[in-house]
Amino acid sequence: MSLSWLHRVSADKWVDMRTRKTMSGEDILLYVMSHEDDEENNFLLEQNAGIKSLKGKISMMKGYCGRVRLISEQRLIRKSDKLGRDDEIIEVINELPERLQREISKVSEQYSAIANSLDRTYPQRLFSAPDISMDEEEYQQLLEDATSKFKNLERYYLVDTPLIGGEQPYKEKYANALKIYFEDFSKKYETFEKLIKKLDLFIRIINSRLSFKKIRISKERRLEVIDIDAEDKQLELTQLSSGEKQEIVLFYELIFATQPGTLLLLDEPEISLHISWQNKFMDDLLYSNPRIFHYDYSCMEMTAVADDKVFRNFAIECYHGSMNPFELRLFVLKELSWLSCMKKLNFERDCDIKFEKLPFDNFVLQTSVPLNEAVLSELKSRNPGKIPNGMVNDAMDLCGNISSLSEYLAITQGHDFISLFHAVCSKVHTQRKQYSIQTIALSLRCSYNEAAFRTTDLDSAMQRYSSSACIYFLNC
């Protein structure tokens, strides 16, 4: 790629010499196509037939969808994009206070520009204005409106100039000056109005989730977490649970970093969320951005597993052991039931236990202990001191209450089923062809059965939102 601001540092890595950030080939392509107004970028697009064709297809898709943004599953950490620090892992939540400070400062600069312009021309406008008739009642209404707006500004430390005192009696001879003053204040306030609505929404949503703590905006215009019982006790953002971090990061991205009208693609928005938070999630999501495309591979996978015909054909291709397809399905679901119940209790009790990417192949192929014992040992090593006393037995009691296939299917997560299914298939295979976890996952997703999905609680909930014209479905 021939661009003057680009310097190649390895086979698949470049540096933007203007910002000193590292970029992949994909990063460069996306940047160039989104900055067509740059003469150099446009020249490159026009000279490369492949890129030009891709640009045309993307432009056509933009015509259908408008602005699109993906918020991926991996929201809490990211790799550094600074030169020489490619392997550095950054906790995204630690960046939010500074990002919010910059957001507020940007709007404050706009406010200052408008305020300076109005203040500079105030005398001229006052002397040239015709006499204005304003009685005391109108004065009180304007004062009350201005006072309400000023309290909004004070709440987030957005201004440090006091409003005119409400204790001063109304004097008709100052009617012109006061009328222009109130009009100017309203124009200044408009600069902050959108930001205040965003801050109100963000703080309302997050504080409705937090227990014994709350977030607020500090005098330094930074995001901070404090103890409800001792407001002078500030907590580090890193001290929050993974579910609390997910909520803060996700809703910050939605409210402050997503332009209005953007079509959002959310990857596993419910990840790490307390079960009660999941019930509120869609309502809050619609307040923050009304154009949403929510997809969930786990649901697609499990509706395919639930379909007898689909699963039978699938299992015959992948498994060559002694169980028939339906015995195999029930075996995998039962083996996972204790783990599924542990995950359910983890959500309900907000224990912040890490379950991600359990090595089922190791459990099945390399150990002789029962699966539950192997999983518990792995969880304890990953989460020292986080598994409460009695939680393991409570999960076993929950398992004992599950009896039907539909109950097993309802509580099992798709990636757990695929991982254990792959391990069981691998154990009985010797010379036969083995399929990777990725192939098994893609096969199930491609076998997704819409009719089966229509019987789920998730579909019922989504239809409720659809009927109120809050959310729309893409039919593929």
- pLDDT per position as a tens digit, 338-363: 998 998 888 777 777 888 888 888 88
CA–CA separation, 372 and 107 (whole Å): 54
Q: What percent of the chain has pLDDT over 90?
A: 22
Q: What is the DSSP string of 21-75?
A: EEE-HHHHHHHHHH-TTSHHHHHHHHH-HHHHHHHHHHHHHHHHH-SEEEE-S--
Asked whether the predicted pLDDT for residue 371 surpasses 80, the reply is yes
CA–CA separation, 288 and 267 (whole Å): 17
The three-class DSSP label of residue 261 is coil
Name which residue leads in pLDDT, 147 or 286.
Answer: 147
In the predicted model, what is the mean pLDDT of residues 241-262?
85
Predicted pLDDT at 101: 93
Predicted pLDDT at 70: 77
pLDDT digits (tens, 9 = 90+) for 163-180: 776 566 778 888 888 888
The three-class DSSP label of residue 426 is helix
Asked whether the predicted pLDDT for residue 309 surpasses 80, the reply is yes
In the predicted model, what is the mean pLDDT of residues 377-384?
90
Tokens describing residue 271: 């990840």
Asked whether the predicted pLDDT for residue 462 surpasses 80, the reply is no
Asked whether the predicted pLDDT for residue 135 surpasses 60, the reply is yes
Q: pTM higher than 0.85 for the full model?
A: no
Q: What is the DSSP string of 96-147?
A: HHHHHHHHHHHHHHHHHHHHHHHHHHHHHHHHHSPP----HHHHHHHHHHHH
* Residue position matching structure tokens 């579909």: 459
Tokens describing residue 101: 């400070």
Closest CA to 138 of 172, 168, 188: 172
Asked whether the predicted pLDDT for residue 475 surpasses 50, the reply is no
CA angle 429, 434, 440 (to 5 degrees): 125
Predicted pLDDT at 8: 83
Predicted pLDDT at 40: 66
CA–CA separation, 432 and 425 (whole Å): 10
In this structure, the strands spanning 213-217 and 21-23 are unpaired
Q: How confident is the model at residue 449 (pLDDT cuts 50, 70, 90)?
A: low
Predicted pLDDT at 208: 86
Asked whether the predicted pLDDT for residue 315 surpasses 70, the reply is yes
Name which residue leads in pLDDT, 157 or 433.
Answer: 157
Q: How confident is the model at residue 202 (pLDDT cuts 50, 70, 90)?
A: very high
Name which residue leads in pLDDT, 332 or 464.
Answer: 332
Tokens describing residue 266: 């959310």
416 to 318, 359, 364, 434: CA distances (angstroms): 17, 10, 13, 18
In this structure, the strands spanning 213-217 and 89-91 are unpaired
Asked whether the predicted pLDDT for residue 367 surpasses 80, the reply is no
Predicted pLDDT at 291: 60
Tokens describing residue 146: 């201005």
Asked whether the predicted pLDDT for residue 476 surpasses 50, the reply is no
Domain boundaries, the chain: 1-65, 70-295, 297-467
CA–CA separation, 12 and 8 (whole Å): 8
